């Protein structure tokens, strides 16, 4: 029976590795991507993800094989070796403590560029000043409120454009977004842009990206924020600068008409 359990435990790394290889090579009946399609210029996050994935994968396979060998070699039904009591090995304990510590230190250093790119290197204008926010995205149970500055270029003025769950950004440009929340903790997540930032009540924060592919992509909330968390999603549309400018003008004109139009019976 011990041999059976040994093979059963061996199946864990074998099947796990097989499923990983199948997914990575897109061998499933339903075609798809191993990760959401990348539509931004910076690939640092993907490189970091795959590095950690392969590193932990090697450790997973190695520990699975070692577990199998020990269960097979020291099966109680067939092993006749006399058990030896040991207080342990200080050398071995130091080794298996130092090696993970070194690996974690290496990962901490390796990820510094990804962290700096996502949290510290805010795009700047030609004169070196921080690029202003294209729009403000505000989380609210259970929707994303989008606010663009009007013709005056300033937020929180009378001519601002207000939308819900519909964000438009120009392609091939650095885009900065201001994010905040009206109520509880949310998480602004753009999977295809590799952008995810917790939105904390009382804090004004910024995220940025440089999209290089047009199309429509998901905006989701990645933080449990209440009973309607599952439906808190929107859409970000990436388009050329000409299309974006036309969309902004049309949105502003439509908002002007809706504000100043009177009911038909008046």
Q: For the purposes of burial, counting CB atoms within 10 Å of the CB of 109, is it exposed (0-12), middle (13-18) or buried (19 or more)?
A: exposed
Provide the pLDDT confidence category of residue 105 given band limits of 50, 70 and 90.
Answer: very high
Q: What is the mean pLDDT of residues 222-228?
A: 93
Contacts of 9 (CB under 8 A, 6+ apart): 64, 67, 68, 71
Closest listed residue to residue 207, CA positions, set 228, 186, 182: 186
- Segment 25-37 shows an average pLDDT of 68
pLDDT band at 104 (very low <50, low <70, confident <90, very high): very high
Picking from 176, 50, 79, the residue whose alpha carbon sits closest to that of residue 121 is: 176
Give residue 50's pLDDT: 87
Dump pLDDT digits (tens) for 64-98.
Answer: 999 898 888 887 777 777 777 777 788 888 998 99
Q: Report the SS3 class of residue 53.
A: helix
* Average pLDDT of the residues of the chain: 88
Predicted pLDDT at 266: 45
Q: H-type helices in 179-240, by residue range?
A: none
pLDDT at 200 over 70: yes
User: Of 216, 227, 199, whose CA–CA distance to 138 is shortest?
Assistant: 199
Find the helix or strand (DSSP H, E) in which 245 lies.
Answer: helix 241-260
Nearest alpha-carbon partner for 72 in 153, 127, 3: 3
Instruction: Verify cis geometry, omega within 30 degrees of 0, for the bond prior to 142.
Output: yes
Measured in residues, the chain has a length of 266
CA 40, CA 240: separation in Å to the nearest integer? Answer: 14
Task: Name the residue among 144, 221, 148, 230 with its Cα closest to residue 189.
Answer: 221
Q: What is the mean pLDDT of residues 20-41?
A: 74
**pTM given for the model:** 0.80
Give me the mean pLDDT over the 168-186 stretch.
Answer: 95
- Tell me what pLDDT residue 2 has: 64
Higher per-residue confidence, 260 vs 102? 102
């Amino acid at each position: 029976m011990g041999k059976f359990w040994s093979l059963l435990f061996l199946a864990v790394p074998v099947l796990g590795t097989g499923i990983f290889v199948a997914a990575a090579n897109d061998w499933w009946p339903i075609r798809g991507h191993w990760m959401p399609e990348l539509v931004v210029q910076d690939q640092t996050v993907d490189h970091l993800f795959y590095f950690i994935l392969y590193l932990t994968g090697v450790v997973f396979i190695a520990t699975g094989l070692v577990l199998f060998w020990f269960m097979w070699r020291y099966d109680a039904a067939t092993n006749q070796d006399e058990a030896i009591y040991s207080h342990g090995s200080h050398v071995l304990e130091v080794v298996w403590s130092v090696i993970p510590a070194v690996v974690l230190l290496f990962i901490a250093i390796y990820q510094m560029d990804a962290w700096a790119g996502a949290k510290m290197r805010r795009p700047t204008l030609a004169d070196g000043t921080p690029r202003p926010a294209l729009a403000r995205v505000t989380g609210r149970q259970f929707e994303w409120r989008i606010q663009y500055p009007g013709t005056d270029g300033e937020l929180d003025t009378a001519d601002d454009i207000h939308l819900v769950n519909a964000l438009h950004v120009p392609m091939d440009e650095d885009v900065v977004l201001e994010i905040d929340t009206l109520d509880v903790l949310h998480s602004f997540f753009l999977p295809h842009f590799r952008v995810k930032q917790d939105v904390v009540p009382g804090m004004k924060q910024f995220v940025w990206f440089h999209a290089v592919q047009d199309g429509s992509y998901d905006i989701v909330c990645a933080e449990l924020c209440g009973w309607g968390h599952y439906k808190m999603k929107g859409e970000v549309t990436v388009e050329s600068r000409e299309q974006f400018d036309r969309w902004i003008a049309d949105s502003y004109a439509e908002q002007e008409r809706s504000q100043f139009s009177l009911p038909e019976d008046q």
